[in-house]
Amino acid sequence: MQMLLGGERRGSRANARIEIRNPSDGDVIDEVPNASDEDVDDALRTAVAAFPRWAATPTHERSEILARGARRLLDEQEQLATLLARENGKTLHHARGEIASAARLFEKYAHEALRLYGVNVPGDFEAGYERDLIITRRYPYGVMVAITPFNFPVSLFSTKVAPALATGNVVIAKPSEETPLSTLRICELLHESGVPAEALQVLTGGGRRIGQRLMASPLVDLVSFTGSVETGQQVATQRARSITPTHLELGGNDPMIVCADADIDLVIEHAWFGRTLENGQCCAASKRFIVERAVSDDFEQALVERLARTTCGDPFDERVDLGPLINPGAARRTEEQVASTLAEGAELKVGSGKAHAAFFEPTMLVGVTAQMAIARDLEVFAPVFPVLRVDSVDEAVAIANASTMALHASVFSRDVGKAIAVAHRIDGGLVAINGTGLYKPDAIPFGGWKTSGSGREGLLGMASQYTQEKTIAVRNVLG
């Protein structure tokens, strides 16, 4: 089992180790243990044994510990951001923002835990219960497994782990085998801040094997998974027998609908930002640009000009907008997706359509039609902009809803009333009006419809997602 104690990593029983490479140049920056099946089982037994003590820790003490951890993250923001950018390839600017976001989340969840109140139910709501004292209280589930992807390893770790720990659950974290280093360091800081090592463990290594063993265990009480639709379906199938809560945040092929009366400059600003964040590898990014024909020429020309000013290169160069994808395989996969879309009849307007090691330059596809895979369920995890021209808002909504995924969406129009009416008709967990679908304040429920997932993350969902409710009734005690 790999636990973090005193800043040192305990190695796995398995001799195999996994190299962590910098996506920009392929250099090895570190290596981590490839946890064995025995390590997984040890972690589970340790978590079960640690749960009673952590759950019994007064909420105000847990809150103080996590708030202290948040301050430690800010103290090491630059070092953590550098580590994150090296292992992930995102720009240093975005990495700094992700560390700041993680610290903010730990602090907010620490404070929110102090407000998880029960209720007093008056017994006189029904004849025969007038003298009863009825109260409710919330309790942690127990052992939570948090599985996080490569694209936002720090912020998604914080989104899952902070509320779980704050409410008294213990956590086994399984970061992506591509990007475990920043997670490991943050766990060390949390341990140093007072979180017991047994209450927060990390398993590194092969995701499929470790994940399957965790999902098969009856010792797991709660699962929070972010990843692909296909893997999410496997997780849901494995956990179905246990009837334990399983939160899934999966893929998206999010539509951006551009109405004929939209402010094109505003549209381009949000389209560019939303599709280049995390080098185009964001589940809630706009991935289908559905534009009314009356403004499609203006939209395409403005996007061409904006992409021409986009720089791609070393993520540590402050002038660079885009770094590499997570690895060369991801870039080759994007090249294949673009090629298949061109074979269906689309045209390449910007970009070469070719991978260069792990890099894939901003790419714009025009002439995309509703029948093409990229207009429905082909999720491209790269800075690719497929543009569909439509004759009406009704046609745009039909295309938007044709995907089996429904995470986020956005609508741009100067007529806010019309945009709200369109938003009501679009499938998805969130629709942003005159803003990117990446809209995600900490408090709001985050999650999708259809195959994009189940459950909601965010401060508003903390009680329902991470605690279970119990009613306690004392009969005939009141005068």
Picking from 270, 306, 267, 259, the residue whose alpha carbon sits closest to that of residue 400 is: 259
Return all residues near 154 (Cβ < 8 A) that are at least 6 apart: 80, 84, 98, 99, 101, 102, 182, 183, 186
Q: Using CA atoms, how far apart are residues 392 and 471, in angstroms rounded to an integer?
A: 52
Q: Using CA atoms, how far apart are residues 256 and 272, in angstroms rounded to an integer?
A: 12
Structure tokens, 398: 């039909």
Q: What is the DSSP letter of 402?
A: T
SS (H, E, C) 307-328: HHCCCECCCCCCCCCECCCCCH
Catalytic residues: 249, 283
The tokens 């061409």 sit on which residue?
A: 304
Q: How many CB atoms lie within 10 A of CB 260?
A: 15
Q: Using CA atoms, how far apart are residues 427 and 403, in angstroms rounded to an integer?
A: 9
The tokens 């998206």 sit on which residue?
A: 252
Q: Using CA atoms, how far apart are residues 227 and 275, in angstroms rounded to an integer?
A: 18
Q: Using CA atoms, how far apart are residues 67 and 372, in angstroms rounded to an integer?
A: 49
Question: Could you tell me the sign of the dihedral formed by the alpha carbons of 22, 26, 27, 30, in that order?
Answer: positive
**Could you tell me which residues are beta bridge partners of residue 223?**
145, 246
Q: How many CB atoms lie within 10 A of CB 412?
A: 26
Structure tokens, 54: 């952590």
CA distances from 139 to 7, 126, 128, 245, 458 (A): 31, 27, 29, 14, 18
Chain centroid, CA 101 distance in Å: 13
